[in-house]
Amino acid sequence: MKTSSYQGFSFPLRGVVTACCAAVLLSACASFKGIEPSASLKQSSDYTSTASLPQQGGQWPDASWAQAIGGAPLQALVDEAIAGNPNLQVAAARVAGAQAAVDAAGARARPSWSANASSTYQRYSENGIFPPPLGGSYKSDNELSLNFSYDFDFWGKHAAELRSALSSGKAAQAEQYNARLMIATAVARAWVQLARQYGQLDLNQQQLQASAEIQRLTQLRFKVGLGTQSENQQTNQSLASLRAENAQLNEAISLTRNQLAALLGQGPDRGLQIARPYLPAETAIALPDALPLDLVGRRPDIVAARWNVEAAQGNIDAAKTEFYPNVNIMAFAGFSSLGLTNFLKSGSRTFGVGPAIYLPIFDRSLRANLKGQVASYDGLVATYNETLNEALHDVADQVQSLRAATLQSEQQRLATQASSNSFQLAQQRERVGTTNMLPVLSAQMTLLSQRRIDLDTQARRSDLRITLIKALGGGFDAQALDLDKDHSNSTTVSTSVRSAS
């Protein structure tokens, strides 16, 4: 008989093998038949989007898109927000926690070693299991041992747990990038909003000057009997409304500065230090080719949802292994004695080795646990499908809005140009003496109103550029970040468990 020894102690391997074989036969009583996922992953090809998202030969956004929009000032704000925003620090902590889970899952697949030392001084009962002279005496019970245990992972449980942990870690990394993208685009949009508010304030100041001059001339006309009280009140109302709007714009600027300071993870005073921004020059964004297909690897939220599905599949595979027998081997060696005199002598040696077999035969909790894992998987598949669907519609929405904003901008330029021409004609008539200053000021007010609308449309296009960049992933690339690869080393284990069912 082939034997194995441990410090002079031998035991037959045949008995262990026989016990394992018997356990495999008996385990047929435990079954997970009929418990399988019902959801399936959608593919980008399942959604028709050729007409809405045509191929235009464009490039995907890169990581320095903020620099391209707002130059160094905006890029510096984005970098500061990524470094100091508390939400990103929370995301980083989640990544660290996921890595710790990976380490723990990997450790369960390895042998475990531990050491134990104890010494208890006690009086032994005279009426206990130890007769006199030990009974009734005071002795120290001493033990020193080295312990070993190993779980034979016949069915790939530990591999499935490790695969699940690795997938959860990948999901946490993708979610961290998604949080970075959310913060970066929020900073950029607030920056554009601040630029628009300052531009509106400038135009409001010009309107206030023109309105104040109109009020002065109207009052002079009223005093000499050339105007009416109604005209005088209308100019007063217009001037008061512009002053109220001026206060609103100043309030909005302060609130936007506070918002930016919060996004940077700083106090309100940081917002006061931000230099006044100006709306960026307009540039068109051409859609990249094969957009629906490549979007799967360019959106961090889609990548995170996909890795969450992979983690759930690993949990299912691990739950299925619970229906099969589990064999652990445990061993220990050391010294044990009453009293310290003979503690380290050869006669105090103690050692042992043996298997521990877990045999599930009829356990309702196993099926309940597997049903829960399958339900979680189905839910995460639905979440992935919903994320993919929303991502495609998000890009399509931004594209359609940009098209409409471009057409609106073209028409608004015509309206602004017409107002500018009217203002110039009024100035010419005033210079030749065919009219007074009031029509000139009125034409100027109309021109300034059109310029304010023009400013709003320009700011909206800049904002839509940012939201389109966000919809396209903001420079995220799963392949470059090694977040798009499956764990090939665990595939065979997963397949073997599923085939065993």
* Domain locations in the chain as residue ranges: 1-30+112-152+326-359, 35-109+170-324+362-495
**What is the length of the chain?**
501
At 327 the pLDDT is 73
Higher-scoring residue by pLDDT: 173, 359: 173
Q: Which of 12-16, 142-146, 354-358, 381-385 has the lowest mean pLDDT?
A: 12-16
Element (H, E) at 152: strand 138-152
Q: For residue 489, what pLDDT band results from cuts at 50, 70 and 90?
A: very low
Select from 490, 370, 179 the least CA-distant residue to 171: 179
Q: Which distant-in-sequence residues (6+ apart) come within 8 Å of 440 by Cβ?
A: 423, 426, 427, 430
Q: Which distant-in-sequence residues (6+ apart) come within 8 Å of 228 by Cβ?
A: 222
Cα distance between residue 233 and residue 241, in whole Å = 12
Looking at residue 288, what DSSP letter applies?
A: B
Q: Which distant-in-sequence residues (6+ apart) come within 8 Å of 278 by Cβ?
A: 195, 198, 199
Looking at residue 133, what DSSP letter applies?
A: T
Helices (H) and strands (E) in the chain, counts: 11, 6
Q: Is the dihedral of CA 343, 345, 350, 351 positive or negative?
A: positive
pLDDT of residue 91 exceeding 60, the answer is yes
Domain 1-30+112-152+326-359 identical in fold to domain 35-109+170-324+362-495 = no
Interior/surface letters 23-57, b for 16+ CB within 10 angstroms, e for the rest: beeebeebebeebebebeebebeebebeebbeeee
pLDDT of residue 12 exceeding 70, the answer is no
pLDDT of residue 496 exceeding 60, the answer is no
Looking at residue 277, what DSSP letter applies?
A: P
Record the pTM: 0.80
Describe the strand order of the beta sheet including 112-123 as a list of residue ranges: 112-123, 138-152, 326-338, 349-358
Higher-scoring residue by pLDDT: 72, 435: 72
Report the pLDDT averaged over residues 425-445: 89
Q: Which distant-in-sequence residues (6+ apart) come within 8 Å of 29 by Cβ?
A: 361, 362
pLDDT of residue 86 exceeding 50, the answer is yes
Report the pLDDT averaged over residues 123-140: 79
CATH number of 35-109+170-324+362-495: 1.20.1600.10
- Condensed to tens digits (0 to 9), the pLDDT of residues 179-236 reads 999 999 999 999 999 999 999 999 999 999 999 998 888 888 777 777 777 777 888 8
Cβ–Cβ under 8 Å, residues 474 and 184: yes
Q: For residue 18, what pLDDT band results from cuts at 50, 70 and 90?
A: low
CATH number of 1-30+112-152+326-359: 2.20.200.10
Q: For residue 353, what pLDDT band results from cuts at 50, 70 and 90?
A: confident
At 21 the pLDDT is 55
What's the whole-number average pLDDT of the chain?
Answer: 84
Cα distance between residue 259 and residue 248, in whole Å = 16
Point out which residues pair with 11 in neighbouring strands. Answer: 4
Cα distance between residue 299 and residue 181, in whole Å = 10
φ, ψ dihedrals at 93, nearest 5°: -65, -35
Q: Which distant-in-sequence residues (6+ apart) come within 8 Å of 307 by Cβ?
A: 167, 168, 170, 171, 174, 483
Judged by phi (left if over 0) then psi (alpha if -120 to 50, else beta), residue 392 lies in: alpha
